[in-house]
Structures are given as structure tokens and as C-alpha cells.
């Protein structure tokens, strides 16, 4: 995985315990490296399992799960998009199947995928397409690091603080909440 | 669709009282109607499989003349709402009902069609809680999904409703039950 | 067709209009569904047709969106199991397994060995039932009315078997976090033992009566060719991928439960067409019988539910996980994320049918309408699973 | 000729009544056969063994609301079902049920049947087109393409038999054949018989050639929008067409009313029933063919074969004449 994404600007890369989390690599990317990373995975014959958005305090963590028909393992690419402007480039041109997964993510979480060829509501009635049912209300959001496993860190960009455990346990809720509602 | 009223409209042509009401003729027609309820090929969810099972060899709804599943609503008499009606599906259900020629009957099969069933919860956003909020329902068959016997019993109830008489014996209360295999 | 004032109500809804924007002048736009005999429920496919040829097709989903992922956020993990029986009524136990397995993985619960065998046996029985359902419905799509009756005949026997431990015919919620709800009793095991040779004797008849029928062969051979690369691009799995020659089966690729101990083959077909997918499914029925047979032999005595199994109010420990099983339609994946609260933080269901169907638009381009129906059927669609 | 006129009138009434009856019986037979093919009882509870089932269906259909969709052509829409049914009645007129037992003595009976049977497709076209429904339109287009195509091999195979008997009069054609099966035309024209049966399936839109109403593709095809008796008439016409097709096959190939021991009409009805049963069996056994395959079967196989058959027949008939004259 390390070699596969060499040269791309990454934020965070860690090896995970597959027996517990079901994935063996997790990579946080800046939105700009998403399409190139997807292209590399496509060239390495990976296929897209699904796209899953997670509504956390810091924003929507959009996870792309990949798998391979011959090799074991499940690398996952992750992009964090802010609550107020959830927008990502579409990888539908790389993985044909991503089109529907992206539309589904839009239906549930309201994440916009720029460049999706047919970006209309898929699962939800177009009349109530803006209800975004899986968005959580700010109070019930959790922090990313409370849910996701840090794993064995291979690389971490200094500016990336999502997974670093914060020293003061207090102030966790009130501080994050303000940021989220903004 | 939001602007459009989803609930089935009253038909433009109200069925007028017959000029000459011949009781026996009416009764014969009722019996014919009840013995020839052609359902529409219209499955929504899990219950649709049990609806299919009713048409299959083991239960064979054909015995009661109701195996002629018509794909076109124009030719069917009975709409078996077999499954969950979502808000997205609701306009289609209403339209299908309106496309059926009178006299038409509706069986709400399964808890979802009756009340939203297991999918009715606080904060639900896509479910019609009971198909009877959209179209008039004649018989409710509860279950999740109802067993095929249940649907057959629903059919008998509908026949009873049409003719005012139950044609088939009541099921025994304590068996005998069929041995499988 | 010309439009006039009194046809305004036929002007089409949001999707039709959206689709028609890019339609060519003079082509016919046809809505198959949401009520249409060949869409297996409430799938809707908008097709642009030139005569009998499908120029373009767009599936429209969501007519059976049942908010499973939302429900997971208002229920505890154990309370959510019944939902899994309703996601895919064809192969409900695989979904049971995927969810329960994910929760066990996250909590690190070890399942008693007998429970693993019970799970495998029931799940494989359910897989046969699922394939039989597909087989009958597919032939109905192709205009043969009789095979479905025979398929349901066999399926009923399986349902009778599964009814004993699970208590229901279709929407099972039999697996528990840490095992299964109850053991297979002697009655049930005896029925399974009787069923295996019986089903084996039926398969040659299916082959003679249906699989080798010249009309059927002409209808499905060379129809809907899916290249392996297309499977990769769209994430198609299960019999669809195997029918395209990809040897991918989650039971082998990401082994779980006792499958590593069991000797079975993963059938593939190099034909890549509807015939390939048909053959793969028919062989899988045989293989499932083989698996059940071996399980019956190897099954140890013991508990079927781990001691101190989670109660309904059990909280899933913090963390996230992904667990995949092989369902009748392909790779079923359940992603769980928990913050340690009462309910699950996020549950994402990866439905194989969803990915399989997404390549339909690609494959159906330029085919005849009847072929498009044949392709749609060969993907084995269960709509509740796709819409979730 | 008042006598002739009265004969036709009585015949027409009898035909109309019997077609209705045949329709009812056939509905029952079809559902029962389907049931037995599928190992279930079929209609069972309505009347003894479900015998009253078709009657209930028919009365119910009569009592249903009639619909005409918005934007449909009112005249053509209602004309179509009637038009599909009436010509079929005429087809029964020249059919000889027994020696001298026919309604109208036309010495071009075969021609009359072929001419009027071509009309039925017109009704399908009108019905599909006038109902302002896309499925209907597609079904109608299919019906026309299919009917036009299958008319030709049907005609050619029939013509071969006409060559052998040297007449277009149905009664004469039957008389040419003998009592025993080896005296029937099927022995001299087996290929023509096969072609005829296959084309007949295509002409009557029966499975596996039921493309105009292909359920899984076009919901109900050309009669998608017809409710109640409009649909009922189409339904009835289908069965009536089947009867005609099987009767013609009996007359041309199976020796008509000829047969040992039993009286002629009984044999005739028996043979027709067996052929009908065969068609019913086809329907419940085979999957549906695809549209291009349907046309391929016709243009690439049936048509060349029937032309070849016709040429051979003509050649041998000429040869036989020549040798006999010698």
C-alpha cells in the first residue's frame, strides 16, 4: 500500500489489525489526491466495495473500501470533508460503480461529488431529497478518534491531528460541538 | 409529487344505483366476482415471495380461481399490496389502484402494508404508515410475512365480504397439521 | 408520440424528465416499472428505445428504501438482527451472519464450534433456496411458466427444514451475537439428510428439462457479456463475477467460520454471458449440498450460544469493523462503527445486488429489449437488498 | 336462394354459440393442463373439478368497468376487440365437420380462411395503436411483423397440400384422403405439416411465440389497456383462432372427418382437440423465443423449407400426372 501510493500527497497512513477492523490499511487523503489514488488502485486491479460516510465531529469521514479479486486485504481510503461545505471530486470516471455509491452518499449525508455524471437522488424520493437522514445532530456526534482505530502509523502529516489522541480529556465535547455547528 | 394529493381520488363516475335491481342476478354476479379474483402481478417486498408461494403447487391459489396473475392493472380485480409502501412508491400504488377497473379490491398483506410494520419508528423518513392512508383496503392479512395460508384465508375473507357467505370450511383449531417432506 | 394538453399527466416524473434530457430525437422512452413483471418487485428501469433496441437504460432505485441504516442508529445491535432478515429475503441468513459476524469481530466474541456448523448448514440451505428462487423467477422472465413451480416445490422442502430451528419461512432472524438462537434438533437434521439425495436427484431433471432446452440456450448464450474488467470497475461479485471467469468467493478469499475446513469448489465459467452465470448458480447448488453433507459429518456436540451472550441492551464496544460473507448474490459486507454508545454509531450495508445492478446500464446498451430483460434477470436482483 | 341463406344464418348462430362454448372449455382445459404440467390441481373448487371456473370468469369480465385511456382513439379502441373476434366467426363457415356438414359451400374455402385470418392481425394493430400506450404500440408492432412473416410459410405449406389434392375446396380435400392414417396427407406432406404447426403457433401468438403480449417484456402487450370484455374478446378470439388453425390442420393433414368406426364429426372434434392439447402443452413447456430469433426461424428456415417443399410437391404432382396420363 505504501508503495502503491508513493508520491501522492497523503495525510495519514497506518496499518490496521485486519482481524478486528476488517481492513489492513487506512489512508487519509486530501481531497485533491483522491482521484489519483483511485486511479492507482484501479490500475492495480482493486475494485471498489463501497463508499461509506461517517458523520463525526470534525466532519464527514468518507471511506472508500477496496478489495482485490486475487489478493486478500482491504485497503481503505479516507477523506474528511467539513460539515459546512461537504464536497469531493467524483471517482466515477475511474470506477464505474462509484457513481451509485456517491449518489447514495449524497442521499444520506449530503456530500456533493463534483463530476458525477448523473448526480440525482438515487434511493430517496427527489421531493424530499434534502432531508439527509443519516446526518447526526451536532450533540450526538462523536470524535473520529473515538471510533476509528489509529493502527500502526506508517506516515503522518504534521498538520493531521484527527487521529492523535488529545491530552486533555476535558473540553472534548463543548469545543468540538461549536466547530461542528459552525 | 408533493403538490399532488397522493390519496386515491374519488372516481368521477359514481356507480349509480341500478335501474332495475334483480336480487338473484346481483347475487350471481357477486359469486362470480368472488370466485374469479384475478390479482395483479404486483409484489413490493418480502411478502411478494409468499404471494408467489401461494400461487405455487403447494398452496395453489388456482383452486379458488385466483391464479390468473395479470401484469396489467386494467385486467386485474385484486391488488395484493404485498410489502412495504415507501413514500417514493406511493404515487405509483395510487395510480395503479386508479387504473384498475371497478369493482376492485385490495388486500393489504403483511404488517408493512397494514401499518408500516417493523419499519415504523421514530424518525422514519420514507415510509407510508399503512397503505390504507392511500387507498381503501378490504382485507388486512397480518404477519411478517404472513404465511401462505394466511393469504388464502385473506382471500376467503374477501370472498365472504363480497358475497356475504363463507364458502369454504373454517380451518380446524387444533390441527391436523400437514407433515412436511 | 405527440403530446397534447390532455396528456399532461403523462409528461413524466422527475426521473423520466431527467432521463429524457439527453435522449435522442425520435426515440421511445419506456418506463419498465416500478410495477413490471420482470423487475422482480419494484425496480424501475427507464429505457430509451429505437424500435426493439435499447439505446440506453437507467435503473431507478429507492422504491423500496426501508431505511435500514437509519434504523440501526435507533436500535441496539441485538435488536437490529431482525432487520437483517428483511434486507434480503432470498438469502436472509447470510445477512444475519454478516451483521452478527461483524459485531462479534468488533467485540472479539468467540462462537462455539457447533454454532459455526449450525450456521454453515442453515446458511447453505438458505443459499440453495435462494438459487432456486432465482432459477424459477429467471425462467419466468424468459417466458417459461412451469419451472418456477418445480423450483418452489423444492424450495418449500428447504423452508420446512429451516422453519424448525428458525421459526419462520422467509425473513429469518436466527443468528445471535455469539451463536444461534437454538440448536438443530434431530427432526431437522433428519430432514436435511433426506433432502440432500433428493435434491441431487432433481438436478439432472432440471438439466434435461430446462438447462439443455434449445430455446433457453439461444436466449441466454452470448447475451449480456460482462468482461472481468467491467466486474472490477463496478465491484460486481458473486455468481456475476464468477460467471465472468473471476475465481472470487468470500468463503475462500476472506475465509470465515469453518469454511477453510470444508472441501468445496468455487465454480467459474469462462462464458461471461448469462449462460455462464446460469451455470455457476446451478453448480453452486451442488456445491452447497456438498458443504452441508460434510458439515453434518464433522459437526461436534456442544453449545450453540456462547456463555454470557450479549443481551438485547448490550453495547457494542468502541471501534469500527468490516465483515464480509458470501451471499447468494455475492459479497455481503457490513461495516460497523461504534462509539460505545447504546446504539451503533453507523452501520453500512454493502449489498452485492446494488453493485451488480449498477453495471446493467453498461451491459444492456444496444441489446434487444428481450435481452435486456434476460440480462436483468441473470443478475439475480432482490430489490429490498438493493434499496435497503 | 333462401334455403342457402337460412343455412348460413343457422350456421352463424351455431358457430357463435359454439365458439363461446369452446372458449369457455378451452380456458378450463388450459388451466387444468397447466395445473397438471405443474403438478397442482388447477381450478378445483368452483363447480365440480373447477368446471364452472370459466363461467365465473366470463360473467365477471362482463361485469367489469370498461376503461378507455385518455388520449386513445375512441372508435378504433373499441373497434379492435370486436374486429378481432368477428372475422374468426367467418372462418368457421367453410369448415367441414363431417360429410356434408358445413355451413357454407365455398369451393374456395381454403382461400377464404387464409384471407380472413389475415384480418385478425389488423385488430391487434388497431388495439395496440389506438390505446395510446407504449407497451401497446410495441406489442402491436411485434404482432404485425410476426403475423406478416408467418403468414407466408403457412400459406406455402397449405399450398403444397392444395397441389396434392388439386382443389381449394376443403370438403374435396378431405374426400381425397382416406380412412386410415396412412391415407392422410400428413404421410405425403410431413414437412408441410411441421411448417404449418410452427407457423400456426406464430399466427395465433401462442407461446413460445407469444411476443405481442410477452408478459415479462411488455406487461400485456397490445391489450395492456383493455379491461373487462374488451380483454375478454381478445382472449376469446385467441382461442377461437386456435380452433380454426387446428381445424384447418385436421382438414388438410389429418384426414378431416375420416376415421374408423366412430362417426365423422366425432373424429373431427377428436383430432382438433388433440391438436389443441398439443398447442397447450407447448405453451406450458417452452420458454419464449426472442423477437429476432422468431423472425430468423421464419425467414431463414421455414420460408426456404416451405418453398422447397412446394417445388418438390409441384414437381412430383406433375410427374405423377404425366405418368398417369401416359
Q: What is the pTM of this model?
A: 0.89
C55, part of any domain: yes
Helix or strand (DSSP H, E) at D133:
none
Quick: pLDDT tens for C118-177: 999 999 999 999 999 999 888 888 888 888 888 998 999 999 888 888 888 888 888 988
C158, part of any domain: yes
Do chains C and D have 3 or more beta-carbon pairs under 8 angstroms? yes
Contact D285 C215 (CB under 8 A): no
**ω into C340 cis (within 30 of 0):** no
In chain D, what percentage of residues exceed pLDDT 70?
A: 98
Q: Report phi then psi at A51, rounded to 5.
A: -120, 130
- Predicted pLDDT at B7: 67
Contacts of D115 (CB under 8 A, 6+ apart): none
Of A91, A87, A110, give the one whose Cα is nearest residue A99: A91
Chain D residues with CB under 8 Å of a chain C CB are 34, 37-40, 70-71, 132, 134-135, 137-138, 141-142, 207-208, 210, 214-217, 219, 283-293
- Predicted pLDDT at A174: 39
Half-sphere exposure of D317 (CA within 13 A, CB side): 17
Helix or strand (DSSP H, E) at A28:
strand A25-29
- How much of chain D is helix, strand and coil, in % rounded to 5? 75, 0, 25
Give contacts of B1 with chain A, Cβ < 8 Å: 125, 127
SS3 of residue C249 by DSSP: coil
Q: Does C140 touch chain D (CB under 8 A)?
A: yes
User: What whole-number distance in Å separates Cα of residue A77 and Cα of residue A62?
Assistant: 8
Answer yes or no: are the C-beta atoms of D72 and B89 closer than 8 Å: no
> Are residue C50 and residue C79 in the same domain, yes or no?
no
Name the minimum distance, in Å, from the CA of A132 to any CA of chain C. Answer: 10
Answer yes or no: are the C-beta atoms of D46 and D24 closer than 8 Å: no
Quick: pLDDT tens for D134-166: 888 888 888 888 888 888 888 888 888 888 887
Of B36, C140, A163, give the one whose Cα is nearest residue D54: B36
- Predicted pLDDT at A161: 76
Quick: pLDDT tens for A94-137: 888 888 898 888 888 888 888 888 888 888 888 787 788 888 88
- Predicted pLDDT at B69: 85
Answer yes or no: are the C-beta atoms of B110 and B141 closer than 8 Å: yes
Contacts of C291 (CB under 8 A, 6+ apart): C120, C124, C262, C264
- Predicted pLDDT at B14: 59
- The residue that leads in pLDDT, B6 or C92, is C92
- Predicted pLDDT at D129: 84
Of B49, B57, B125, the CB nearest to C89: B49
- Predicted pLDDT at C4: 41
Helix or strand (DSSP H, E) at C31:
strand C28-32
Name the minimum distance, in Å, from the CA of B101 to any CA of chain D. Answer: 5
Of D242, B83, D218, give the one whose Cα is nearest residue C86: B83
- Predicted pLDDT at C122: 92
> Are residue C125 and residue C34 in the same domain, yes or no?
no
Place of cell 405481442: D212
Mark which residues 284-313 of C lie under 8 Å from A by CB.
none
- Predicted pLDDT at D293: 85
B108-134 residues labelled b (16+ CB within 10 A) or e (exposed): bbbbbbbbbbbbeeeebebbbebbbeb
Q: Over 70: is that where the pLDDT of A170 sits?
A: no
Q: Which sign does the torsion angle of CA C286, C292, C297, C298 carry?
A: positive
Of A1, A122, A98, give the one whose Cα is nearest residue A47: A98
What CATH code is carried by the domain that includes residue C365? 1.10.645.10
**Grid cell listed for C37:** 413483471
> Are residue C22 and residue C84 in the same domain, yes or no?
no
- Predicted pLDDT at B15: 61
Helix or strand (DSSP H, E) at D100:
none
Quick: pLDDT tens for A47-103: 888 898 888 888 888 889 888 888 888 888 888 888 888 888 888 888 888 888 988
- Predicted pLDDT at C5: 40
C7-38 residues labelled b (16+ CB within 10 A) or e (exposed): eeeeeeeebbebbeeebeeebebbbbbbbbbb
ipTM surpasses cut 0.90: no
Length of chain A equals: 182
User: What whole-number distance in Å separates Cα of residue A79 and Cα of residue A67?
Assistant: 18
CA angle D184, D189, D193 (to 5 degrees): 95
Place of cell 423444492: C154
> Are residue C201 and residue C233 in the same domain, yes or no?
yes
Query: What subunits touch chain A, counting only 3 or more CB pairs under 8 A?
Result: B, C
Strand partners, C32: C45
Is 3.40.50.720 the CATH number for A12-136? Answer: no
> Are residue C277 and residue C308 in the same domain, yes or no?
yes
- Predicted pLDDT at C289: 92
Contact B56 C67 (CB under 8 A): no
Q: Does C200 touch chain D (CB under 8 A)?
A: no
C8, part of any domain: no
Name the minimum distance, in Å, from the CA of C209 to any CA of chain D. Answer: 9
Contact C346 A54 (CB under 8 A): yes
> Are residue C196 and residue C256 in the same domain, yes or no?
yes
C188, part of any domain: yes
Q: Which sign does the torsion angle of CA B7, B13, B17, B20 carry?
A: negative
Q: Report the 3 state secondary structure along C129-168.
A: HHHHHHHHHHHHHCCCCCHHHHHHHHHHHHHHHHHHHHCC
Q: Does C324 touch chain A (CB under 8 A)?
A: yes
Contacts of D214 (CB under 8 A, 6+ apart): C143, C370, D139, D142, D221, D288
C351-366 residues labelled b (16+ CB within 10 A) or e (exposed): bbbbbbbbbbbebbee
A25-55 residues labelled b (16+ CB within 10 A) or e (exposed): bbbbbeeebbbbbbebbbeeebbbbbbbbbb
Place of cell 460503480: A97
User: What whole-number distance in Å separates Cα of residue D185 and Cα of residue C356?
Assistant: 55
Answer yes or no: are the C-beta atoms of D142 and D221 closer than 8 Å: yes
Strand partners, B105: B78
Give contacts of B96 with chain D, Cβ < 8 Å: none
- Predicted pLDDT at B167: 83
Of D35, D40, D224, the CB nearest to B72: D224
> Are residue C338 and residue C355 in the same domain, yes or no?
yes
Q: Report phi then psi at B101, rounded to 5.
A: -80, 145
CA angle D302, D305, D310 (to 5 degrees): 120
C-alpha distances out from residue B23 to B20, B27, B28, B33, D265, Å: 9, 6, 9, 15, 42
Quickly state the pLDDT bin for B8 (edges 50, 70, 90).
low
- Predicted pLDDT at A173: 41
- Predicted pLDDT at D9: 83
**Grid cell listed for B143:** 404477519
Distance of CA D85 to the CA centre of its chain: 12
C7, part of any domain: no
Quick: pLDDT tens for D199-258: 888 888 887 888 777 777 777 778 888 888 888 888 888 888 888 888 888 888 888 787
User: What whole-number distance in Å separates Cα of residue B128 and Cα of residue B119?
Assistant: 10
Q: Mean pLDDT for chain B? A: 82
Question: Could you state, in order of their start, the residue ranges of all structural domains in chain A?
Answer: 12-136
Q: Over 50: is that where the pLDDT of A177 sits?
A: no
Contacts of B165 (CB under 8 A, 6+ apart): none
C1, part of any domain: no
Contacts of C319 (CB under 8 A, 6+ apart): A20, A21, A147, A148, A149, C106, C337, C338
User: What whole-number distance in Å separates Cα of residue C128 and Cα of residue C206?
Assistant: 14
C3, part of any domain: no
Find the domain containing C43 and state its range.
14-60
Q: Over 70: is that where the pLDDT of C29 sits?
A: yes
Cα of first residue to Cα of last residue in chain A, in angstroms, is 36
Q: Mean pLDDT for chain C? A: 86
Query: What subunits touch chain C, counting only 3 or more CB pairs under 8 A?
Result: A, B, D
> Are residue C34 and residue C137 in the same domain, yes or no?
no
- Predicted pLDDT at A178: 37
- Predicted pLDDT at A2: 67
Contact C232 A134 (CB under 8 A): no
Q: Does C12 touch chain A (CB under 8 A)?
A: no
Place of cell 415479462: D216
> Are residue C125 and residue C41 in the same domain, yes or no?
no
Cα nearest neighbour of B15 on chain D:
D65
- Predicted pLDDT at C2: 41
Contact C102 A22 (CB under 8 A): yes
Average pLDDT on C270-287 reads 90
Cα nearest neighbour of C85 on chain B:
B46
Question: Strands (DSSP E) along C244-329, which ranges?
Answer: 319-326
User: What whole-number distance in Å separates Cα of residue D20 and Cα of residue C15?
Assistant: 46
User: What whole-number distance in Å separates Cα of residue D20 and Cα of residue B140?
Assistant: 37
Of D180, B155, D208, B9, give the one whose Cα is nearest residue C218: D208
Quickly state the pLDDT bin for B5 (edges 50, 70, 90).
low
**ω into A6 cis (within 30 of 0):** no
Strand partners, A60: A55, A81
> Are residue C55 and residue C181 in the same domain, yes or no?
no
Quick: pLDDT tens for A2-33: 677 777 777 888 888 877 888 888 888 888 88
Q: Over 60: is that where the pLDDT of A182 sits?
A: no
Burial degree of C59 (CB within 10 A; 0-12, 13-18, 19+): buried
Mutate which: C17, C39, C63, C373, vs B, most B CBs within 10 A: C63
Quickly state the pLDDT bin for B181 (edges 50, 70, 90).
very low
Contacts of C102 (CB under 8 A, 6+ apart): A22, C321, C322, C323, C334, C335, C336
Answer yes or no: are the C-beta atoms of C54 and C74 closer than 8 Å: no
Quick: pLDDT tens for D57-107: 888 888 888 878 777 788 888 888 888 888 888 888 788 877 766 777 777
Number of domains present in the structure of chain C: 2
Amino acid at each position: 500500500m505504501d508503495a502503491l501510493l508513493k508520491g501522492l500527497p497523503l495525510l495519514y497512513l497506518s496499518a490496521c489489525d485486519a482481524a478486528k477492523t476488517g481492513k489492513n490499511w487506512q489512508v487519509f487523503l486530501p481531497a485533491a489526491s483522491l482521484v489519483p489514488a483511485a486511479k492507482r488502485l484501479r490500475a492495480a486491479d482493486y475494485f471498489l466495495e463501497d463508499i461509506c460516510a461517517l458523520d463525526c465531529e470534525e466532519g464527514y469521514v468518507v471511506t472508500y473500501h477496496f478489495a482485490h479479486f486475487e489478493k486478500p486485504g482491504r485497503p481503505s481510503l479516507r477523506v474528511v470533508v467539513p460539515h459546512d461545505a461537504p464536497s469531493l471530486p467524483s471517482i466515477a470516471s475511474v470506477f464505474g460503480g462509484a457513481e451509485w455509491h456517491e449518489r447514495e452518499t449524497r442521499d444520506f449525508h449530503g456530500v456533493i461529488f463534483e463530476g458525477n455524471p448523473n448526480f440525482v437522488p438515487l434511493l430517496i424520493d427527489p421531493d424530499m431529497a434534502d432531508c439527509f437522514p443519516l446526518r447526526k445532530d451536532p450533540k450526538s456526534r462523536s470524535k473520529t478518534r473515538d471510533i476509528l482505530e489509529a493502527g500502526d502509523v506508517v506516515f503522518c502529516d504534521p498538520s493531521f491531528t484527527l487521529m492523535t489522541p488529545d491530552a486533555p480529556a476535558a473540553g472534548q465535547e463543548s469545543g468540538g460541538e461549536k466547530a461542528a455547528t459552525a | 409529487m408533493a403538490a399532488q394529493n397522493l390519496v386515491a381520488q374519488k372516481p368521477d363516475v359514481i356507480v349509480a344505483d341500478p335501474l332495475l335491481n334483480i336480487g338473484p342476478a346481483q347475487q350471481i354476479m357477486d359469486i362470480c366476482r368472488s370466485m374469479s379474483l384475478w390479482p395483479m402481478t404486483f409484489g413490493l417486498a418480502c411478502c411478494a415471495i409468499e404471494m408467489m408461494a401461494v400461487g405455487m403447487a403447494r398452496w395453489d391459489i388456482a383452486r379458488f380461481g385466483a391464479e390468473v396473475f395479470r401484469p396489467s392493472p386494467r385486467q386485474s380485480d385484486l391488488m395484493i399490496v404485498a410489502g412495504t409502501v415507501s413514500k417514493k412508491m406511493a404515487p405509483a400504488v395510487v395510480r395503479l389502484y386508479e387504473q384498475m377497473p371497478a369493482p376492485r379490491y385490495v388486500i393489504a398483506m403483511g404488517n408493512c402494508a397494514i401499518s408500516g410494520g417493523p419499519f415504523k419508528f421514530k424518525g422514519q423518513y420514507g415510509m407510508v404508515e399503512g397503505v390504507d392512508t392511500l387507498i381503501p383496503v378490504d382485507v388486512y392479512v397480518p404477519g411478517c410475512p404472513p404465511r401462505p395460508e394466511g393469504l388464502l384465508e385473506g382471500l376467503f375473507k374477501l370472498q365472504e365480504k363480497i358475497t356475504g357467505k363463507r364458502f369454504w370450511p373454517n380451518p380446524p383449531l387444533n390441527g391436523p397439521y400437514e407433515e412436511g417432506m | 408520440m405527440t403530446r397534447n394538453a390532455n396528456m399532461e399527466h403523462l409528461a413524466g416524473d422527475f426521473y423520466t424528465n431527467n432521463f429524457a434530457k439527453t435522449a435522442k430525437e425520435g426515440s421511445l422512452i419506456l418506463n419498465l416499472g416500478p410495477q413490471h413483471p420482470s423487475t422482480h418487485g419494484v425496480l424501475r428501469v427507464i429505457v430509451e428505445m429505437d424500435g426493439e433496441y435499447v439505446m440506453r437504460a437507467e435503473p431507478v432505485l429507492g422504491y423500496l428504501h426501508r431505511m435500514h441504516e437509519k434504523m440501526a442508529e435507533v436500535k441496539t445491535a441485538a435488536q437490529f438482527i431482525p432487520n437483517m432478515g428483511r434486507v434480503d429475503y432470498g438469502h436472509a441468513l447470510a445477512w444475519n451472519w454478516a451483521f452478527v459476524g461483524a459485531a462479534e469481530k468488533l467485540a472479539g466474541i468467540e462462537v462455539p464450534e457447533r454454532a459455526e456448523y449450525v450456521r454453515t448448514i442453515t446458511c447453505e440451505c438458505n443459499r440453495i433456496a435462494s438459487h432456486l428462487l432465482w432459477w424459477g423467477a429467471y425462467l419466468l422472465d424468459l417466458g417459461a411458466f412451469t419451472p418456477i413451480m418445480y423450483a418452489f416445490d423444492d424450495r418449500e422442502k428447504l423452508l420446512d427444514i429451516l422453519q424448525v430451528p428458525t421459526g419462520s419461512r422467509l425473513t429469518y432472524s436466527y443468528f445471535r451475537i455469539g451463536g444461534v438462537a437454538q440448536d438443530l434438533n434431530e427432526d431437522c437434521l433428519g430432514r436435511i439428510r433426506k433432502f440432500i439425495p433428493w435434491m441431487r436427484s432433481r438436478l439432472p431433471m432440471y438439466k434435461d428439462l430446462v438447462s439443455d432446452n434449445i430455446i433457453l440456450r439461444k436466449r441466454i448464450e452470448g447475451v449480456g457479456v460482462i468482461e472481468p474488467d467491467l466486474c472490477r470497475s463496478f465491484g460486481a461479485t458473486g455468481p456475476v463475477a464468477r460467471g465472468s471467469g473471476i475465481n472470487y468467493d468470500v468463503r475462500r478469499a476472506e475465509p470465515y467460520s469453518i469454511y477453510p475446513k470444508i472441501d468445496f469448489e468455487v465454480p467459474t465459467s469462462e462464458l461471461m454471458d448469462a449462460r455462464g452465470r446460469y451455470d455457476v448458480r446451478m453448480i453452486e447448488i451442488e456445491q452447497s449440498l456438498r458443504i452441508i453433507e460434510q458439515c453434518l459429518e464433522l459437526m461436534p456436540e456442544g453449545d450453540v450460544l456462547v456463555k454470557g451472550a450479549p443481551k438485547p441492551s448490550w453495547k457494542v464496544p468502541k471501534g469500527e469493523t468490516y465483515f464480509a460473507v458470501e451471499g447468494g448474490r455475492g459479497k455481503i459486507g457490513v461495516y460497523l462503527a461504534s462509539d460505545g454508545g447504546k446504539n451503533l454509531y453507523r452501520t453500512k450495508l454493502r449489498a452485492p445486488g446494488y453493485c451488480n445492478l449498477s453495471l446493467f446500464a453498461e451491459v444492456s446498451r444496444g441489446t434487444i429489449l428481450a435481452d435486456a430483460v434476460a440480462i436483468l434477470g441473470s443478475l439475480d436482483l432482490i430489490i429490498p437488498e438493493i434499496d435497503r | 336462394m333462401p334455403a342457402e341463406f337460412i343455412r348460413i344464418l343457422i350456421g352463424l348462430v351455431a358457430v357463435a354459440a359454439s365458439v363461446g362454448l369452446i372458449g369457455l372449455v378451452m380456458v378450463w382445459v388450459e388451466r387444468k393442463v397447466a395445473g397438471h404440467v405443474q403438478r397442482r390441481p388447477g381450478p378445483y373448487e368452483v363447480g365440480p373439478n373447477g368446471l364452472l371456473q370459466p363461467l365465473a370468469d366470463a360473467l365477471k369480465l362482463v361485469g367489469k368497468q370498461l376503461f378507455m385511456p385518455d388520449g386513445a382513439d375512441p372508435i378504433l379502441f373499441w373497434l379492435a376487440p370486436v374486429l378481432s373476434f368477428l372475422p374468426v366467426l367467418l372462418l368457421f363457415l367453410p369448415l367441414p365437420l363431417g360429410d356434408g356438414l358445413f355451413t357454407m359451400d365455398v369451393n374456395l374455402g381454403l382461400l377464404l380462411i387464409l384471407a380472413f385470418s389475415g384480418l385478425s392481425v389488423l385488430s391487434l394493430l388497431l388495439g395496440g395503436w389506438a390505446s395510446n400506450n407504449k407497451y401497446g404500440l410495441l406489442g402491436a408492432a411485434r404482432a404485425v411483423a410476426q403475423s406478416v412473416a408467418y403468414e407466408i410459410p403457412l400459406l406455402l405449406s397449405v399450398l403444397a397440400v392444395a397441389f396434392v389434392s388439386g382443389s381449394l375446396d376443403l370438403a374435396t380435400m378431405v374426400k381425397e384422403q382416406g380412412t386410415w392414417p396412412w391415407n392422410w396427407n400428413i404421410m405425403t406432406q410431413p414437412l408441410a405439416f411441421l411448417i404449418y404447426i410452427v407457423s400456426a403457433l406464430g399466427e395465433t401468438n401462442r407461446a413460445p411465440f407469444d411476443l405481442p403480449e410477452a408478459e415479462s417484456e411488455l406487461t400485456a402487450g397490445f391489450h395492456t389497456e383493455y379491461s373487462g370484455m374488451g380483454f375478454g374478446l381478445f382472449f376469446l378470439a385467441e382461442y377461437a383462432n386456435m380452433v380454426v388453425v387446428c381445424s384447418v390442420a385436421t382438414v388438410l393433414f389429418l384426414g378431416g372427418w375420416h376415421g374408423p368406426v366412430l362417426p365423422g364429426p366425432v373424429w373431427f372434434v377428436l383430432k382438433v382437440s388433440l391438436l389443441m392439447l398439443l398447442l397447450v402443452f407447448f405453451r406450458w413447456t417452452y420458454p419464449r423465443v426472442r423477437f429476432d430469433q422468431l423472425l430468423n426461424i421464419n425467414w431463414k428456415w421455414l420460408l426456404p423449407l416451405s418453398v422447397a417443399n412446394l417445388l418438390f410437391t409441384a414437381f412430383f404432382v406433375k410427374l405423377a400426372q404425366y405418368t398417369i396420363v401416359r
